[in-house]
Structure 1
Amino acid sequence: MVLGSVLNPVNSSMLAVALVPIGHAFGAPPSQTAWLVSGLYLATAVGQPVIGRLVDAFGPRRLYLLGTALAGLAGLLGALAPNLWVLVASRVVLGFGTSAAFPASMSLLRSESERTGRGNPGGVLAALSVSNQVVAVVGPALGGLLIGAGGWQLIFGVNVPLSLMCLVLGALRLPRATPAGGAAPIDVPGMLWFAGSLTAFMFFLMRPAVASWYLPVLGLAAGAVFVRRELGTARPFMDLRVLGGNIPLLATYLRQCLAYTTSYAFFYGYSQWLQEGRGLSASQAGLLLVPLSATAIGVTVLTGRRGRIRGRLVAGALLQCLGCAALLPLHDDSPLWLLVVLSAVVGLPHGLIGLANQNALYAQADPARMGSSAGLLRTFMYVGALFATAANAVFFRDGATSSGLHAMAWPLIGVAAVFLVLCTVLPPRDDVDGLG
C-alpha cells in the first residue's frame, strides 16, 4: 500500500525541477511545458474519485493491480517520448494509473479495521501519510538527482521498476476479498457527467481568461445535470444527500484545497526561482529542497500516532503563513543558508496538514464509500494544485524572477490566512475515534 501510494505524489512533484530542462530539450516555452503539470493534475483529479468508486464496488486488489500496471506503461512511454505532446499524453495516462493506490489503501485499512475490531490504525495512517502526502516533497530532490545522473527521461523511467515492485507485492500480499454482497452496480452516466463538469472547470483554471468564459458555463451546466442525476438514482456514483449533510467532511475537503494551493505554488514557484532567479542547476535546486523533505517526514513520524488533529492544523496554518512571508526578502544573491532554513521551515506544515486531513477523512467518511471519499480528498488536493499552477503562470509570465516571486508571495499569504481562519472557526473534532 505504501509503495503504491508513492507513485502519485512523487510524480506530481518530481517534475518541478524538470520543466526547465524539458523545455530546453524540445524548444518549448513555459506555456507549453505547463501542460506536463496540468495534464497529470487533470487526470488525477477526475480519476481519483471515479477509480475510488470502482474500488468500493469491485474491491481494492484488482484496481490496485490494474492502476499500477498502467503507471508502469506510462513511465515507459514518457521515457521514450519523441516530442513534448507524447510526453504530455504519458503524464495523462500516468495520472489515471496512479489514481488507484490511495483509494485502495484507505478502503483496505477501513475494511481490516472493521474485520479485526481494532479501531483506526493511527500508526498505519501515519505511514500512509508519509507515502502519499509527505513523499511529495521528496520529488524535487529526487528529480534533481535523476536529471543529474541521466537526464530528464529518468524521472519517467523510474516508474517502470516501481510499478513492477507494486505488481509483485500487490499480487502476493493484498487480500482478494470483495465488498460484502458482491460488486455493486456502477453509475456510469453519473461518472461521465462528473468528469465532464470537473474537466471544464479545470481547463479554465489552466488558462483563466475572459475569452474562455464558456468553460465555466459548460462546467456549471454539466454539474447541474450531474446533481439532478445523482439525486434521482437509487445507486448514485456520489451520494450527494449523504455528502451534503456531512459538514465536517466538506470542511476537510475545503481545507485540503486551500492548503495545497499554497504548498504547490511554493514547490513549483520556489523551485523555478532557484534555477532562473538564483541561478542554480536542477540538481542543486533539488538538493536545496532536501531539508523540506526531512522536516516534513520527521514531523509526520513524531506526531503520527497521536489522534488529536486540531492543533496540527492550526500550527500548520501558522507555519504556512510564515513560510510564504519569508519569500518576500529573497533576492538573486540570497545566501544559501537562508534558502536551506526556509526549505526546512516549509516542510513542517506540509507534514502536519497532510496527516491531519487524512486522519479527519478516515473518521468522517462513510465506510462503505471510503474509496471514493479518499479519491475526492485527492481531487481537492489537485484542484488546489491547479490554482497554484495558474498562479505560477500569472506571476512568472516573464520568467521566475525575484520580483515575480515577491508578487506571488502576497496572495499565498492571503490563502494561508484563510486556511488558518477555517481551522479555527470550523475545526475538526479532536476526539477522532480510536486514533493512536
Structure 2
Amino acid sequence: MNARSWWLMLSVGLGILLNPLNSSMVSVAIPRLQNVFQLDFTVVSWIIFSFYIASAIAQPVMGKASDLFGRKKIFLTGLLVAFVASLLAPLSPNFEWLIVFRIVQSIGTSMMVGVGMAIVRIQITEKQATALSVLSIFLSGAAAIGPFIGGVLIHWWDWHAIFFVNIPFVAASFLLAWRTIPKDEPPTSVASNMSFRKWMNRIDAPGILLFTVGLIALLVGLLSAKSSGHISLRYVIVGLIGLMLLLAFVRHELKTTSPFIPLRTFAKYPAMTWVNIEFMLVNVLFYSLFFGLPSYLQTVRHVSEFHTGILMLSLGLCSLVASPLAGRWIEKSGPRPALLLSAMLMTLGSVWIVTLNQTSPVISVCLALAAFGISNGLNSVGMQAALFKSSPKEIIGVVSGIFNTSRNLGAILSSLLIGIVMGGKFSFEGFRWLGMILTVFALSLLFMSWRRRESGQMEES
C-alpha cells in the first residue's frame, strides 16, 4: 500500500474508534455519575442502554444513507455530530440532558462506523485484507483500553473528561478525512429523484419506530423490578405495551419488502440463526462482566477509578493478545475448538466471580478478567468465522449487519440483567447473584459449543 492509503486508513480509523471507545469508557464512570446526579443504579444504566439502542438503529440506517447522500458526506457529518455532542455533554444541567447528548454522540459515531469500512473497501484495492485488519485493531483496541482511559481521565479530571477527550480525535480525523477521502460520486438518477416517502420505506421507518419504542417500553417495565420485589402496576402495563409493540415489529418485518432486521433470513438459514443466538449470549456474558465489575470494584470494594481502569486493562490486553493467535488456530482447525475453549473460560470466569468475597484480594479479580478477555479474543474471530461458514456468500452483507445487531442486543440485555439483579443499589449480594446467573448462561453456551463440536465430527465422519 502507498502512503496515501495509510493516511486514508488513519483518518477512517481515528473516526471509527470513537464508537467503541465511548461505549467502553463509561463502564468506569457509572458509580461517579450515580453519585453526582443522586440516582438509582437502574436509572444510571440508561447511559448504557441509550448508547447501544441508538447504535443498533443508526449503524444500518447510515449504511443505507451513504448510498444516497455519499460516504464522505456521511463520515464528515458524523464527525461534526460527535464533536457537538462531546462538547455539550459535559455541560448537561441534568441527567436527562446527558442522555440526550449521549444518544446524539452514539448516532454521530455510528455514522462513521457504518461507512468507514465501506470507504476502505472501495478506495483501497491492494492488500485489502491488511487494510481491514488494521481498522479492526482501531475498533478492538479502543474497546479494550476504553475502561483504562476512562479510569485515568475520571481520576484526574472527573467524568466530564470522558467526553472532552473525543475532541482531539474528531479534529484529527476530520482534517485527514477532508484531504484523503475522495469526493463522492454524483448520485444516480434513481437516488437523486427518490422521494422522502420512498426513502422512509427504504430504511423501514415504521419498523424502526416499532422496534425503538417497543424496546424502550419493555426495558422501562422490566427495570421496575427492584431487588426489594416491589413492582409498580404502571410499569407492568408499560412493559406489556412494549412487548406488544415488539410482537407487532416482528409481524411487520416478516411482511415488509425492505425490513430493518431481515427476520425471514433467520428462518431460511437456521445454522446462521444459531450462530447469532450464541453470539448474543456471548455478549450478554462479556458485557455483564464488562459493566458490572467496575461498579463492584468502586462501590463494594471502594477501589479508585484509576486503579479500576488499570485492573480492567488486563481484560483488554488479554483480548488483544488472544485475537491474532485465535486467527491462526481457527485457520488450521476451524472455529469449533476455539469456541469450545472460549465457553470453558467464560464458565471458569463466572464461577470465579461467585467465589469472590468482600475480603478477597483485589488482584484476584484479574483471574476472571483474564478468562473473559481471552474468551473475547477467541469469540471475536471464532464467531465471525462460524457465521461466514454457515451463511451463503450472496447475502454476506445482510448477515454482517445482523451480526452487529446481535452484538448490540447482547450488550443491551447485559445491562438489563445487571439492572434487574441490582435494583436501585449495587451490592455485594447482587454481584454474587449476577455471578450465579452468568454461570448458568456460560454452561448453556458450553453445551451449545459442545453440540456444535459433536455435530461437526458427525458431519466429517
Q: CA deviation at 1:71?
A: 1.4
Query: What are the Cα deviations for residues 300-345 of structure 1, in whole angstroms up to 9, with x where unaligned?
Result: 2334466443333222222111111110111111113312333222
Larger radius of gyration: 2
Q: Does 1:383 align with 2:409?
A: yes
Residue correspondence of structure 1 range 5-404 to structure 2 within 5 A: 5-56=16-67, 58-108=69-119, 110-111=121-122, 121=129, 123-133=130-140, 135-176=142-183, 187-189=199-201, 191-203=204-216, 204-208=218-222, 210-211=236-237, 212-230=239-257, 244-304=267-327, 307=331, 308-359=334-385, 364=391, 370=397, 373-397=399-423, 399-404=425-430
Identity %: 26
Name the CA distance, whole Å, in 2 between partners of 1:40 and 1:299.
Answer: 27
Shift of 1:419: 2.7
CA distance in 1, matches of 2:384, 2:71: 18
Equivalents in 2 of 1:11, 1:20: separation in Å?
Answer: 16
Cα distance in structure 1, aligned partners of 2:441 and 2:150: 28
Q: Give the 3 Å change call, closer, same or farther, for CA 102–354 of structure 1 in structure 2.
A: farther
Structure 1: which 5+ residue stretches go unaligned? Answer: 431-436
* Count of residues in Structure 1 that have an aligned counterpart in Structure 2: 420
Change in 2 beyond 3 A, CA 1:277/1:387: same
The alignment's C-alpha RMSD in Å is 3.1
Report the counterpart of residue 433 of structure 1 in structure 2. Answer: none
* Structure with higher helix content: 2
Q: Judge conservation of contact 1:71–1:93 (CA < 8 Å) in 2.
A: yes
Q: What letter matches 1:258 in structure 2?
A: L
TM-score by length of 1: 0.85
Q: C-alpha offsets along residues 172-224 of structure 1, whole Å, 9 cap, x if unaligned?
A: 33344659977756652352122123213421135416332111102212332
Please, which moves more after superposition, 137-146 or 163-172? Answer: 163-172
Moved more, 64-73 or 176-185: 176-185
**Secondary structure class of the residue paired with 1:327:** helix
Distance, in Å, in 2 between the alignment partners of 1:280 and 1:154 is: 19
Distance 1:222 1:241 in 2: 13
Aligned-residue offset at 1:58: 5.0
User: For residue 359 of structure 2, what is the amino acid of its counterpart?
Assistant: D
Contact kept, 8 Å, 1:102 with 1:375, in 2: the verdict is no
* Partners of 2:342 and 2:379 within 8 A in 1: yes
1:398 offset after TM fit, Å? 5.5
Alpha-carbon distance change, 356 to 163 in structure 1, aligned in 2, over 3 angstroms: farther
Letter in 2 for 1:222: F
TM-score by length of 2: 0.81
Distance 1:129 1:253, change over 3 A: farther
CA distance in 2, matches of 1:168, 1:108: 16
Q: 1:262 to 1:242 in 2, by over 3 A?
A: closer
Gaps of 5+ in 2: 1-11, 225-235, 457-461
Distance in 1 of aligned mates of 2:246 and 2:187? 35
Mapped to 2, the partners of 1:221 and 1:415 lie a distance apart of 28
My pick for the range that moved more, 295-304 or 236-245, is 236-245
CA distance 1:239–1:129, change in 2 (3 Å): same
The structure whose RCO (Cα within 8 Å, separation 6+) is larger is 1
* Distance change >3 Å, CA 392–CA 182, structure 1 → 2: farther
Structure 1 residues 106 and 65, CA, compared in 2 at 3 Å: closer, same or farther?
same
Displacement of 1:150 after TM fit?
0.7
Task: Choose 25-34 or 80-89, whichever is displaced more.
Answer: 25-34
| Contact 2:204–2:259 under 8 Å retained in 1 | no
